[in-house]
Structure 1
Amino acid sequence: MQLTFDQIDMYKVTPMIRQLVQEKEKYPDCLIFFRLGDFYELFFD
């Protein structure tokens, strides 16, 4: 079973994941990279 963005409780996630969900709703076909320190991370892709 795969979690979809409409199943995520936005009050229980971190600000970074909240931002990711908002951007993925605007750009569903794009990869969104987050820079964490010296590395880039992808989430839910």
Structure 2
Amino acid sequence: MTTRSTVTPDLSAHTPMMRQYLTLKADVPDTVLFYRMGDFYELFFDDARRVAALL
């Protein structure tokens, strides 16, 4: 059985959108998270680097 510790990021310095993204990402750290902004999907931080390497 594997246990995963969730780290709560410091959200005070971020915009409301980025707070939401970081909260969602903290729940699924091993998953590439596409975040919808308007008509587009965005990738941030390590997810963006991982996907860019595949393109």
Give the structure-1-normalised TM-score: 0.62
- Give the match for residue 12 of structure 1: 13
Bigger proportion of residues as helix: 2
Q: Which protein is bigger by CA-based radius of gyration?
A: 2
Uncovered stretches (5+) of structure 2, i.e. residues with no partner: 1-6, 48-55
The number of aligned residues is: 40
The structure 1 segments of at least 4 consecutive aligned residues displaced by more than 6 Å after TM superposition are: none
Shift of 1:26: 0.8
How many angstroms apart in 2 are the aligned matches of 1:20 and 1:37? Answer: 14
For residues 3-31 of structure 1, give each alpha carbon's deviation from its aligned partner in whole angstroms, at most 9, with x where no partner exists.
xx76x641110111111111111101112
Shift of 1:38: 2.1
Give the structure-2-normalised TM-score: 0.54
